[in-house]
Structure 1
Amino acid sequence: MVASWRESMRWQHTWVGLVLGALLFAIFWMGSLSVFDKEIDRWMMPATRLEPPESLSLAPALASARKVAPDASRWRLMLPTSRSPQMRLYYPDAGGDLQFVDLEPGTGRPLPPQGTLAGSEFIFPFHFSLHLKAGQLGYWLVGLAGMAMLSLLVSGLVVHRKPIQDLFTFRAHKRLGRANLDLHNLTGVVGLPFHFIMTLSGLVIFVNIYFPDAATLAYDDAADPQGRFIEEGLGRFSRPPAGEPGTLAPLEPMLERARAAWSGEGPAFVRVWHPGDAASYVEMRRSNQNMVRINRDQLYFDGGTGEVLFRFEAMPLMKTQRFISGLHFIQFDHWPLRWLYFGGGLSGCVMIVTGFIFWLQARRKRHAGQGAFRLVEGLTVGSVTGIILATLAFFVANRLLPLEARFAGYERAALEVWVFFLVWLGAFVHGWLQRSDAWRGQCWAIAMLAVAAVALNAVTTGDHLLKTLAEGYWPVAGMDLMLLAGAAVAVWSARRLTQHRAVRLREVEFG
């Protein structure tokens, strides 16, 4: 009975991983990069390579807001942090679409448009939405992958009966197949707590999408259950415009009152509703730079008088949910933990790709000519080295395309995204055509693109590695160093694969 149950778990582990492994790798890869999304922003947006301001004044930023969006129904100012030193102004345009412009925090001067979605607007949302907006399809696919990952972790423990032994077993000197399986087991066991917590917390974060009727069940006696849930769980205050002109009071006293109410912690953003109207009001939401929990604590001030209109602090249940969200997204300042998250995410990538490779090697001799095998082989290449190649092409395009670039009606930011997806698609085609030989070719391409990205950053911005290291500007220096480290790993992998291919050819030749 036990053996039969374990065999069923082995079957489930194999086929769930095979069907959803490509999707899981994309989620883990983009999640790993999202740990440093703000640093990727600095690399891809040279105009924002600023020093964090010593003091903060909101008056210059408001002056810019009046010039940039005088008729907007609201302004939201994202305040500078040590990781995002610029101030960002968000405002809706005439069609209701949200636009933004980056501001120099000291002067409020608008920075030149950088024409990129960079890390925080492309890589980070890709991790949980895949940029598939229709019917929230991306969220649902990521949720499906999350449920699959939980089942893979549990079934993996059942299949591998000696997890403690796996912790101390990695025979790198052995043949590629043996070393690959050891690495799969090792990363699975070492990363198990991290992978489980990250997967479960990701599902908890978007529980309202996966269970949209939860608010209706909880507030079945309310006329608007969803509105009641938002009001009590997330906080909400609003009032309509008066339709008469009004003057906005200075924001600095409101800022000081917010800091006093939040034990010295300032807001993450300041939002002005109905600017220029007599019924304007100001919303401030507490920063979470120094705590794990992503805050929903809010203060609302009357725009004309500066008096407090409404204060919200989340209840214990919502605080728990926001703590889980903060644990997943790690937007607080803790650099050692940030590096551990990055390593944990990459260990998940290694675990997935080694599982793919083990499946392929176990069936290569018997099924190499079959269509299903070739499909999985090309899918594996495209989903692993392919998405890495696409990401590096995204970086290279960012440094090559001029800021004013336009093509076929698409602006620069969209062109970068097109480069990403076209290169990714090309990697799949290359994998299906070249099969096992595609690994080596794409590893060499990864190495070349990574080095090219570092060189192009030096040429186009002047911030070469020696300069950024000497100045201690780690967002850009760290990005360049990681690109070079990735190039080194890609070269090592390509050489190792070349040696493996030579051994395999000799075995075929001499029987």
Structure 2
Amino acid sequence: MKKTPFIKPALRLAMLWPHTWAGVTLGGMLMVIFFMGSLSVFAPEIDRWMMPSTRLAAPEGPVSLDQAVRPLVDRLSAGRTVQGWFVRLPEERNPVLTLRLRAEGGVIDGVASADGAMLPPVGTLGASSFFYPLHYSLHLRMGFIGIWIVSFATVAMLVGLISGVIIHARIFKDFFTFRSWGQTRRSVLDLHNLTGVLALPFHLMISFTGVVIIAPIVLPSGVNALYGGGIEGFYNDAIGGFDRPRAGAAAPLAPLDPMVAEARRLWGGGKVGYVQVLHPGDAAAYVRVSRSTEDRISLNNEPVVFDGVTGAVVKHAPLGPVVAAQRFLSGLHIVAFHHWSLRWLYFLLGLSGCALIGSGLLCWLEKRRAAHGVRAGVGWRVVAAMSCATTVGLLLATLAMMAANRALPADAPSRAMMEVAVFFGVWIASAIHAGARSAGGPPWRSQTGAAAGLAVACVALNGLTTGDHPFQALADGKMAVFGVDSVLLLTAALAFAAALRLGRPAKGRVGVEEAKHA
């Protein structure tokens, strides 16, 4: 009796089209999203590397807002009327005070140590303000267009994952198959299957939770139906927002430390993440104290709002079940909580997503070349150039930005924008180089070799400009700096090994039957 297949061939064939073209058309975008998301897992550590003045020891106890922060606000405002100010308090991974004031004449930013001593301007966007926003918005803020694009690509990733499971009926066999020797194309196909199967639960979770985070923006109908004022009403009503206008009558701001103590009592413990003061010096002043999420998965920071003059609690309401679930899933995606082994797992599995996407693009390129002999066709060349630019080219741009961060003078005007210009300049140059060379195949070897050199240069420049070479950083307990340098050196070694491997002559082509699985 003939055995009936678990998945019918017709269904597998039907799933092949969305799987292939979702990857080919949006693979480059997904590579940016996954790579920058992986870096964002260690954004505070990369910030310490890119901002040498913030390489401080974490404070041993809580910071007094009245003794350390309020005098700092007075110095920064320099007598100007302040409409409001915000401070993020130091913690283990980010050991500095970060302030932002809205005053007459514009916004004032400052960074200080835990005792209130001002630090030099950081002169860079760092990972938190460049790599992380690039992950979820592509730095296209007008009309949330970047978030819309990322949302569409994320849904396409879910389609690719589900259709991939249906296409690859030998999913359990693929889990134990990786032939790293012999034919390169067979190795790439095995890598695609292995990363797809091994990290499938993570990829499904991270894609789904990414959609959940931005659902209130891209699917606003439910938000509009439940909360007045649309997306702003959602965040105000559902996540502890509060607002009231100025009264126009002067009144002194009450001490802030008792408000912090009361907020911690209402929370039943926990640390303060940040504090926001609105309308200071006015009778309608109010203070929002928000909890740090370092000790929990959920991003529910349980804000407590106080009257700024009397110090009485104005608002403290628990989240509803739907919003609580959304905050939990958001925290599962962003992994802001302290758990070092899980953080490394997120980082490695995120990079496995890059390997999955990149190997899928390579499989498509090699299948087309093997089946049709097309090397210089326009479509093939475009995908080839895009694949090179969004894999090795993206790595080159990131390393070039980090090298520029250490090479540019600390007092250079518009230094942060110069670093951004280096990033996009190198990225565009790598794409042009890949396009010009793609007729004979993408220039993988030359670009991986350049990446190896840049990674070593980053470590060398950091040691020369700050004195914190890896051994010194380790001796001084600057584990963030040591960790970033170590990953850079590992990147250099892997890129150099890849360049050597790519320099070897090919040992043949993958068989037709194996190419069908690409």
- Which interval holds the TM-score relative to the shorter structure? over 0.9
CA deviation map 1:317-368 (0-9, x unaligned): 2111000000000011010100000011000000111111111112225111
User: Structure 2 CA distance, aligned partners of 1:322 and 1:216?
Assistant: 18
2:71 matched to 1:63? yes
Q: TM-score, normalised by structure 1?
A: 0.94
Which 4+ residue blocks in structure 1 deviate beyond 4 angstroms? 93-96, 224-228
Given the superposition, is the C-alpha separation of residues 228 and 441 from structure 1 closer, same or farther in structure 2, using an over 3 Å criterion?
A: closer
1:414 paired to 2:423: no
Q: State the shift of 1:99 in Å.
A: 4.3
Given the alignment, which residue of 12, 26, 30 partners 1:24?
A: 30
State the alpha-carbon separation in 1 of the partners of residues 216 and 175 from structure 2. 38
1:368-407 residue pairs with structure 2 within 5 A?
Answer: 368-406=375-413
Q: How far apart are 1:226 and its partner, in Å?
A: 5.3
Give the Cα separation in 2 of the matches to 1:376 and 1:457: 36
**What is the RMSD of the two structures over their aligned residues, measured on CA atoms?**
1.7
Distance 1:371 1:192 in 2: 33
Instruction: Give the whole-Å Cα distance in 2 for the aligned partners of 1:483 and 1:80.
Output: 26
Per the TM alignment, residue 100 of structure 1 is displaced from its structure 2 partner at its CA by 2.2
1:41-440 correspondence runs (5 A): 41-55=47-61, 56-58=63-65, 59-69=67-77, 70-94=80-104, 98-106=107-115, 108-219=116-227, 224=229, 228-365=233-370, 366-406=373-413, 411-435=414-438, 436=441, 438-440=443-445
- Identity fraction in percent: 43
Shift in Å at residue 273 of structure 1? 1.0
- Please tell me the residue identity of whatever aligns with 2:391: V
Q: CA deviation at 1:434?
A: 1.6
Letter in 1 for 2:406: R
Structure 2 length-normalised TM = 0.92
Could you tell me which residue of structure 2 aligns to residue 444 of structure 1?
449
Matches within 5 A, 1:442-481: 442-481=447-486
Alpha-carbon spacing, 1:385–1:241, altered in 2? closer, same or farther (3 Å): same
Paired with 1:451 and 1:346, the residues of 2 have a C-alpha distance of 20
1:37 to 28, 35, 43: 43
Kindly indicate whether the alpha-carbon contact (under 8 Å) linking 2:292 and 2:301 is maintained by their aligned counterparts in 1: no
CA distance in 1, matches of 2:281, 2:226: 39
In the alignment, residue 238 of structure 2 is paired with which amino acid?
G
CA distance in 2 between partners of 1:34 and 1:231 (Å): 27
User: What is the CA-CA distance between 1:395 and the residue it aligns to?
Assistant: 0.2
- Structure 2 residues without counterparts, runs of 5 or longer: 1-6, 510-518
2:111–2:119 Cα contact (<8 Å) kept: yes
What does the per-residue CA deviation read over 1:88-124, in whole Å, with 9 as the maximum and x for residues that have no partner?
001235466x542111111x12210011000100001
Counterpart amino acid of 1:285?
A: S
SS in 2 for 1:271: strand
Distance, in Å, in 2 between the alignment partners of 1:350 and 1:94 is 50
Asked if the contact 2:287/2:306 (under 8 Å) is kept, the reply is yes
| Structure 2 counterpart SS, 1:291 | coil
Separation of aligned partners in 1, 2:22 and 2:155:
10
Query: Which residue type is aligned with residue 91 of structure 1?
Result: L
Equivalent residues of 2:453, 2:492 under 8 A apart: yes
Distance 1:317 1:3 in 2: 40
Letter in 2 for 1:65: V
**SS of alignment partner, residue 110 of structure 1:** coil
Q: Give the letter aligned to residue 78 of structure 1.
A: R
Is contact 2:111–2:121 with CA below 8 Å preserved after alignment?
yes
- In structure 1, the gaps of 5 or more residues are 506-511
Structure-2 change in CA distance of 1:381 and 1:157 (3 Å): same
Deviations 1:32-71 (A, max 9, x none): 0000000000000000001111121212211111121242
Q: Is the 8 A contact 2:110 2:118 kept in 1?
A: yes
Partners of 2:442 and 2:313 in 1: CA distance: 66
Q: How many residues align?
A: 495
2:502 partner amino acid:
L
Name the CA distance, whole Å, in 1 between partners of 2:495 and 2:231.
49
- What do residues 270-313 of structure 1 show as CA deviations (whole Å, max 9, x unaligned)? 11111122332211011111000001411112222222222122
| Partner in structure 1 of residue 514 of structure 2 | none
* Residue pair 1:61, 1:109 contacting (<8 A) in 2 also: no
CA drift of 1:245 comes to: 2.5
231 and 117 in structure 1: CA distance in 2 versus 1, 3 angstrom threshold? closer
Shift of 1:419: 0.7
User: What is the Cα deviation at residue 372 of structure 1?
Assistant: 1.2
Asked whether the 8 Å contact 1:291–1:332 carries over to 2, the reply is yes
Q: CA deviation at 1:477?
A: 0.2
Query: In structure 2, what is the Cα distance between the partners aligned to 1:11 and 1:226?
Result: 36
Once residues 206 and 503 of structure 2 are traced to their aligned partners in structure 1, the CA distance between those partners, rounded to angstroms, is: 36
Q: Secondary structure at the match of 1:206?
A: helix
> Does the Cα contact within 8 Å between 2:254 and 2:309 map onto a contact in 1?
yes
Partner Cα separation in structure 2 for residue 437 and residue 298 of structure 1: 52
**CA deviation string 1:172-204 (max 9, x = no partner):** 123211111111100000110000000010001
Structure 1 position 228, deviation (Å): 4.9
Tell me if the contact between 1:258 and 1:266 (Cα under 8 Å) persists in the aligned partners.
no
Q: Secondary structure at the match of 1:499?
A: coil
- Alpha-carbon contact 1:255-1:266 (below 8 Å) kept: no
- Indicate if the aligned counterparts of 2:374 and 2:380 stay in contact, CA closer than 8 A: yes
Contact 2:272 2:291 in 1 (8 A): yes
Aligned 8 A contact 2:217 2:231 in 1: no
Mapped to 1, the partners of 2:377 and 2:231 lie a distance apart of: 52
Distance 1:225 1:137 in 2: 17
Distance 2:502 2:231 in 1: 55
